[in-house]
Amino acid sequence: MSAETSFDLTVDEKPDPRVPVKKNSDLELGSTNDTLGSFYSTNYEQVYKIEEAADNQEKVDFIFWKDPRVKANSITSPDNDLIGSVNFLGIHTWTVKNETRFIITEMTAEDFNAIEDKYLFPEFDPEAAADLASNLQAGDILFFRTQEGKHGYIRIIDLYNTRGDRALIDVIVEE
C-alpha cells in the first residue's frame, strides 16, 4: 500500500528592482547664443533653441551654457537663478521652470557604456546635488534627477576645446 501526499508550492519571485532606461547618444548642444540648441528634454529626447524652449518650457530639463562667472561649460536646471538672470534667454518670463538636480560622479565611461536596457540607479542624495554643474570637462558624468523624479546620467564626451561652447553628450534616463 502506498500513500500519496500532495501540496502546493508557491515561489514568490522578487521583482526586478531595475527600471527601464532609454539612451540618447551623440547629442550636440551649443551654448545659449549658438546655432545649435542648448535646452534639452529627457522625456521627449529633444534639443531646443531659445525660441523653441520658450514654447516648450514644461519639457525642458536642463540647459547647456557657458557660466559667465567662471567662463566654463556648464549644465544647469531651468530654475537656476543665474541662468534666469540672462535676459536674452527669456527664462525669467517662463511660467514653468523644471527643477533638475545634478551630482558629478566618479562613474567611468566603461560603467556608463555598460548600462543596458534596465538599470538600478543609486540613491539620489539631494543634499549633495545642485541646480548647476560647472567647470565641466570631457569625461565627466553627471547623475541627475528631474522634477518628475526620473533619474539619469549625462556623459560629457567632448567640449570642442578649440571653440569652447559646444558639447557632445550622451544621456541615459529612466523611462
Residue 107 lies in a domain: yes
Helix or strand (DSSP H, E) at 109: helix 109-113
Residue 90 lies in a domain: yes
Residue 49 lies in a domain: yes
Number of domains in the chain: 1
- The burial class, CB within 10 Å (0-12 / 13-18 / 19+), for 51 is exposed
Among 60, 83, 66, residue whose Cα is nearest residue 134: 66
What average pLDDT does the segment 118-122 reach?
Answer: 97
Residue 12 lies in a domain: no
pLDDT at 69: 79
8 Å CB contact between 51 and 33: no
Return d(Cα 169, Cα 56) in angstroms, integer: 21
Residue 1 lies in a domain: no
Residue 80 lies in a domain: yes
Query: Which residue segment(s) compose the domain that 165 sits in?
Result: 19-174
Residue 132 lies in a domain: yes
pLDDT at 22: 97
Residue 9 predicted with pLDDT over 80: no
Q: What is the pTM of this model?
A: 0.89
Per-residue pLDDT tens digits for 20-35: 999 999 999 998 767 8
Residue 13 lies in a domain: no
